[in-house]
Chain A
Amino acid sequence: MENRPLFKSGHTACAGCGQAIAARLVIEAAGENTIIANNTGCLEVFTTGFPESAWGVPWIHSLFENAAAVASGVEAALKYLGKKDTVNVIAQAGDGGTADIGLQALSGMLERGHDVLYVCYDNEAYENTGIQRSGLTPYGANTTTSPPGTVSIGNIHPKKPMIDIVLAHGIPYVATSSAGFPRDIQRKVKKAISIKGPKYIQIHVPCPLGWRHESGKTLDVAKLAVETGLYPLVEYENGVLVSKRQIVPKPVEEYLKVQGRFKHILKNPEELKKVQEIANNNIEKYGLKVQTQ
């Protein structure tokens, strides 16, 4: 990776940006024979302000919601040129560009079976426009469009079940990962690109600005999300759960208390219980608890 940087220094992400960590790990794992289609969002803005670009691979940005369709076109063109077997195609977007405005294009790409890896960098809000709520904002989170108030606890909806949605398309590879687990990201990306067909990886990427934590806490925050069961790391091949990161579950407070966006929840035992229930459900659904002998 030292020879030709695929993701160069000098981009303008905030210090400690989880998305910057993950994006670099993804492209370094995929390698130089890769073409990226990028939705509009933080990653696009902080890497490609003209006349600069952080990308050492061919990279295209069109609009907020169409990276999956643009990537489909790139893949179709490569097929026509007889080059698809030597070039990887990655479509990448944030959580809003994936679960909300880009969901239709993503569904189309998955259903048509394009040989594309779709990467969703999940920082759980529209961070680029100023921390507004998205379909992947977690329950209770304080965002600028889901503020807690006298009659509201913040975001009242749970995260959209993107993993179930993409799994329902019957695609060969689906996984979650986290900026707190760099080797996990790279292993899954390498696995994904070795498989033909549509692949989906959703990576939990803390946003120091939007989640209101110190920039040096990115790693801890990401790890705690996994260790509490709020962000399970799972991996499916052909619809079968083939791996999961097992945990000795920590109480959700440990994750919530290191971020400003959940401050109001910590003071509300009833709401705290609800968040714990979400974690408990994940732990049960995926069998995350380490079995003691």
Chain B
Amino acid sequence: MFGPLIVKSKKVKCDKTGSWRIESKPKYLQKNCIACKMCVFICPEGCVSGKEKNTYHTDYNYCKGCSLCALICPKQDIEMVKEETKLGELQGEKK
């Protein structure tokens, strides 16, 4: 047995912290988005992605529901909705 605690970045798997959300989650409306990427910048989890206008979405596997993306969006194109709300695949939600 030989055990230095070293992990290889390419192999590591992380916790699905999306289970931490209890009250609300962000809904990316994808209507008035100007692709300013502020939602990407501000996400503490780094789980927001997108390429061009109206494509930005969060990964609910990791989103902890802090609501910072909704607050920073200059176009109010992200709103916080009740955790139970079904958003569908379009929003990147796979259940």
Contacts and interface: CB of A to CB of B under 8 A. Distances in A.
* Direct A–B contact present (CB less than 8 angstroms): yes
Interface of A: 2, 5, 7-13, 15-18, 20-21, 24-25, 50-57, 182-183, 186, 215-216, 218-220
B7 A7 contact: no
7 contacts: A9-B62, A15-B44, A20-B44, A21-B42, A50-B5, A57-B9, A183-B41
B38, B45, B46: residue with the most chain A Cβ atoms closer than 10 Å: B46
Interface in B1-35: 5, 7, 9, 12-17, 20
Contacts, number: 89
B59 interface: yes
A54 B12 CA distance: 8
Name the prevailing secondary structure of the B interface residues.
loop
B66 A56 contact: no
Given A20-B44, A50-B5, A11 B14 contact: yes
B9 A56 contact: yes
A11 B17 contact: yes
Contacts of B20: 15
Interface of B: 5, 7, 9, 12-17, 20, 38, 41-47, 49, 59, 61-62, 64-68, 70-72
A252 to B, nearest CB: 22
A8 B66 contact: no
Nearest to A185: B41
Given A7-B46, A13-B44, A52 B12 contact: yes
